[in-house]
Amino acid sequence: MKRRAVIFTAAAAAVFSFCAFHYENAAVFVGHITGKPSVVLDPGHGGIDGGALSSDGTSEKNINLNIAMLLRERLKKEGITVIMTRTEDRGLYGGNEEGAIRSLKTRDMKERRAVIDSSECDLAVSIHLNSFTQDETVKGAQVFYSGGGGNTVAKKSRNAAELLQNKLNRNINEDKKRSELEKNDVFLLQDPVCPTVIVECGFLSNPREAERLKRRSYQKKISTSLAEGISEYICKNSVKDCKNTVSEDRRQKVK
């Protein structure tokens, strides 16, 4: 996703593990299962919309999808229901890719928003890459969250953004710490019905960071960082007693 770069500084956060449990047989659904945490993962762009480009022509859309798929597998192991807006290289155009690109993008964003709004999820995470061609030295992952005042969804969105940003700062932004940022001019973040954040995982306009973002090992590092933050958020905000939500027949192991 192309946007103006915003540079802040954030403190590193302490390590927190997700309630010490892993569950079996987690699956991917379109919908919500009562009593089990659910997360929507939204890999940005897709199909004819490639998103941001690196200097060598690498498009954002496929890296977004790779990170989201790795994150899905990690969250499934934590017993979290995962809802994907897409699992392949396509946009959400309702099966029709005819029309002007602007019209298609509008339709795509509305479809993504519809998936999130109807999911009754505990958290929605939209995954993107940044670009700031005016200054190729700008780098680092940053999390944006929905504002909207002091309502519960806004507060939870900010809390999720803080947790994810802390994990990214500790694991990814080793020499360039950033702060989570409220952003209200993005469609997905305007009056969401569930806590929603956008994660810009790095800058394709920075040649060195672009090379890292293309590597599978670095994509795994990002997905692991996001999984840690999401798991901590779920444990702190969605269940009062993590241990008591686990039935004995579904408990796999205790760390």
Domain boundaries, the chain: 21-239
Token digits of residue 2: 């192309």
DSSP character string of 228-250: HHHHHHHHHHT-S-TGGGS-GGG
pLDDT of residue 175: 82
Rounded Cα–Cα distance for residues 210 and 208 (Å): 5
Three-class DSSP category at 34: coil
CB contact at 8 A, 201 and 128: yes
Rounded Cα–Cα distance for residues 74 and 72 (Å): 5
Residue closest to 16 by CA, chosen among 240, 228, 178, 255? 228
Rounded Cα–Cα distance for residues 171 and 220 (Å): 11
pLDDT of residue 230: 98
Rounded Cα–Cα distance for residues 207 and 55 (Å): 7
Q: Dmax over Cα atoms in the chain, in whole Å? A: 56
pLDDT of residue 19: 40
* pLDDT single digits (tens) 148-192: 767 899 999 999 999 999 999 999 987 889 999 999 899 999 999
Q: What is the mean pLDDT of residues 7-19?
A: 30
Residue closest to 179 by CA, chosen among 5, 9, 44, 1? 9
CB contact at 8 A, 6 and 142: yes
The helix, strand and coil proportions of the chain, stated in percent and rounded to the nearest 5, come to 40, 15, 45
Three-class DSSP category at 31: coil
Pairing of strands 21-23, 251-254: antiparallel
Q: What is the mean pLDDT of residues 110-125?
A: 96
Rounded Cα–Cα distance for residues 94 and 113 (Å): 13
User: Distance of CA 232 to CAs 6, 13, 152, 229, 243, Å?
Assistant: 26, 12, 18, 5, 14
249: exposed, middle or buried (Cβ count in 10 Å: 0-12, 13-18, 19+):
exposed
pLDDT of residue 97: 59
CATH superfamily of 21-239: Zn-dependent exopeptidases (3.40.630.40)
The yes-or-no verdict on residue 122 having pLDDT over 90 is yes
- The CB density around residue 173, as the number of other CB atoms within 10 Å, is 20
The yes-or-no verdict on residue 224 having pLDDT over 50 is yes
What's the pLDDT band for 1 if we cut at 50, 70, 90?
low
